[in-house]
Amino acid sequence: MPSPTRSTDLIEMFAERAIYFLFGGVVCLIVWFILWHWRGSGSYDALSHIFLLFGVILVVSSLWGMMQIRTVKFHHVKCPFCNTVNDLTDAPTEDFHCVKCSRMIPIENGEVMSVSQVQCGYCQTLNYYSAKTEILICEECDHEIPISQDEEGRPTKSIPKAFKITDDDALYSLVLTEPGKNSEEMIATLQQMLALNRNQVKDILEGLPATLLTGINRRKAEMLQAQLSIHGATAEISAMEF
């Protein structure tokens, strides 16, 4: 599927081509004038006529290129992130980058999809996501932000399972009680989360409930809990007693 063509890009291409043709035509006409002026006995007549012909052709091509600019179509597409209007030659059929904020504008059936916001639990930056978003990475700190997903793995329109921002100084434990449906995804997630090998993770999953981490703050515990819930797993957070 071809990428959308921006109206400004097409205008720039026509203008650049017209300038090249005009420059080449002027050079040819200058050479023709010099040869014609110093034609002497007429030995340069044929050559001067060739330059004259090429000069006229290039100048006419330049004028035709400038006229093509007036035929460029403008299909206005408003960016849902920064409200900047992007001008395309036709209605978009696939996602494309906004000319101002550089975010990928989600397109479905030729229409711009609505976007929602979620706050990163690490840096509190607001991030955007749409129903097409599969993995959301914070634009500020590059951490992954867990979002709600339906049975097909697409983000839902409900409030995402974002991090809850708290000022709790207590320490907590994260206990895995249910492994979820896709064991392979859970194994990969726990390997990354706990820095364990595959066999160690499988041993944990076979002995549920299992304490995954202890001595972590509530914000991190809720973030990991939300990350596990994306894969259908259930984890509980409990305060540590000293």
Average pLDDT, consecutive stretches of 10 residues, N- to C-terminus, the chain (242 residues): 78 93 93 78 72 92 92 91 90 88 87 84 79 81 71 51 53 87 80 84 87 85 81 85 66
* 32-38: long-range contacts, CB 8 A cutoff, minimum separation 24: none
**Cα(125)–Cα(146) distance, rounded to whole angstroms?**
14
| Predicted pLDDT of residue 238 | 87
∠ CA 15-18-20, nearest 5°, is 110
Extract the runs of DSSP E, i.e. beta strands, from 24-114. Answer: 75-78, 85-88, 96-97, 104-105, 107-108, 111-112
Beta-bridge partners for 126: 119
How many CB atoms sit inside 10 A of residue 146's CB? 22
| Predicted pLDDT of residue 16 | 94
| Predicted pLDDT of residue 2 | 56
**Cα(95)–Cα(92) distance, rounded to whole angstroms?**
7
| Predicted pLDDT of residue 40 | 55
**Cα(192)–Cα(189) distance, rounded to whole angstroms?**
5
Contact 186, 205 (CB under 8 A): yes
| Predicted pLDDT of residue 5 | 85
| Predicted pLDDT of residue 33 | 87
DSSP one-letter code for 155: B
